[in-house]
Amino acid sequence: MAAMARAATTSDAFNAIAEPRRREILVLLRGGERPVTELAHDLGMSQPQASKHLRVLREVGLVRVRGAGKQRLYGLDARGLRPVHEWLGGFERFWSGSFDRLDEYVQDLKQARREEPPDGDDR
């Protein structure tokens, strides 16, 4: 009942991919399923570290595990990234156009200035 710190990293995909290491893992997994140790090695991180990140990714549903003998094969499940991608898509027009909102803004300015006679501009 006091102050929360930060949203749990495990809460959603947005938080999960905020961690660079986790992003690397996801990218690697695009190449197919991999056992933990291999991931850890390829990414130059310790096994426990890999396991922990994989846990987070699993908890937000971005990866799936499958036991294969002694190994555990982690595989990508990118469906959870879709909403994130879509959310960002909502901003597409703001960067694809000219200069973010700038020109639009300038339009408004001209418009406004046309409606009330020249006054003082910005300070």
Partner DNA sequence: CCATTGTATGCCTATATCGGAATGTGTCAA
Partner DNA sequence: TTGACACATTCCGATATAGGCATACAATGG
Q: Please count the residues of this chain forming the interface with its own copies, following the rule CB under 8 A.
A: 42
The 34-35 sheet, strands edge to edge: 34-35, 71-76, 63-68
- 5 CB-near residues (< 8 Å, 6+ apart): none
Residue type, position 116, single letter: E
Sign of the alpha-carbon dihedral angle for 87, 95, 24, 29: positive
Stretch that binds DNA, among 24-32, 47-55, 84-92, 102-110 (CB under 7 A): 47-55
Residue 63 Cβ, how far from DNA at the closest point, in Å? 10
Binding site for its own copies (CB under 8 A): 6-7, 9, 14-15, 17-20, 23, 26-27, 30, 32-33, 66-69, 75-79, 81-82, 84-85, 87-92, 94-95, 100-101, 105, 108, 122-123
